[in-house]
């Protein structure tokens, strides 16, 4: 029995296996919950060391600002096969400590379900980062990799106080 009534898993041109709509999906539909073993950040780093991987490939979904992750390789469901795209048709939604994949536009039968993984990094973490994080989504706006540069924290300077009488 499939994990979701909305899609089947089969080979994908984007990467390995993908999730393909078996029926029309309306915008706002919760397609599936992302499930698996909840692990702390240090355990996720131990299990999946990017420096030792030929290509970045995990079934991790980080939550709570990266403090914990869902490892869908352990007790997970078919949500782990939804691929990354720079022009996604779905997005992850956190609801009371659970992650759901939700359609952000109407999806046609046979269309591959995707969401932007939102991986952050400067891109210089590894000498071969362009290959490790290569994006194959084929979207017109494809950035060529799955990394989003982290936003720099804005430093707000306090105005200097004027001295009395000056």
Structure tokens at 110: 């046979």
User: Tell me, what's the pLDDT at 23?
Assistant: 97
- pLDDT, tens only, 38-47: 999 888 888 8
What does the pLDDT look like over 51-87, one tens digit per residue? 665 555 678 888 766 678 899 999 999 999 999 999 9
Domain coordinates in residue numbering, the chain? 7-148
CA 122 to chain centroid, in Å, comes to 16
If you ran DSSP here, which 8-state letter would residue 29 be given?
-
**Is the pTM here over 0.75, yes or no?**
yes
Q: Does domain 7-148 have CATH number 1.10.8.60?
A: no
d(CA 123, CA 130): 7
- Concatenate the DSSP letters of all residues of 85-129 into one string: -SS-SEEEEEETTEEEEEESS-B-TTPEEEE---EE--S-SSTTH
């Amino acid at each position: 029995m499939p994990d979701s009534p909305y899609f089947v898993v089969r080979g994908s041109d984007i990467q390995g296996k993908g999730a393909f709509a078996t029926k029309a999906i309306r915008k706002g539909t919760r397609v599936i919950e992302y499930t698996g073993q909840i692990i702390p950040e240090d355990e996720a780093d131990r299990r999946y060391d990017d420096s030792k991987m030929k290509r970045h490939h995990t079934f991790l979904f980080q939550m709570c600002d990266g403090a914990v992750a869902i490892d869908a390789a352990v007790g997970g469901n078919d949500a782990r096969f939804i691929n990354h795209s720079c022009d996604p048709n779905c997005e992850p939604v956190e609801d009371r400590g659970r992650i759901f994949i939700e359609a952000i536009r109407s999806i046609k039968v046979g269309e591959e379900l995707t969401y932007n993984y939102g991986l952050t990094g400067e891109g210089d973490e590894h000498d071969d980062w362009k290959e490790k994080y290569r994006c194959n989504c084929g979207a017109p706006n494809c950035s060529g990799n799955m990394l989003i540069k982290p936003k720099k924290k804005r430093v707000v300077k306090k105005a200097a106080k004027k001295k009395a009488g000056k």
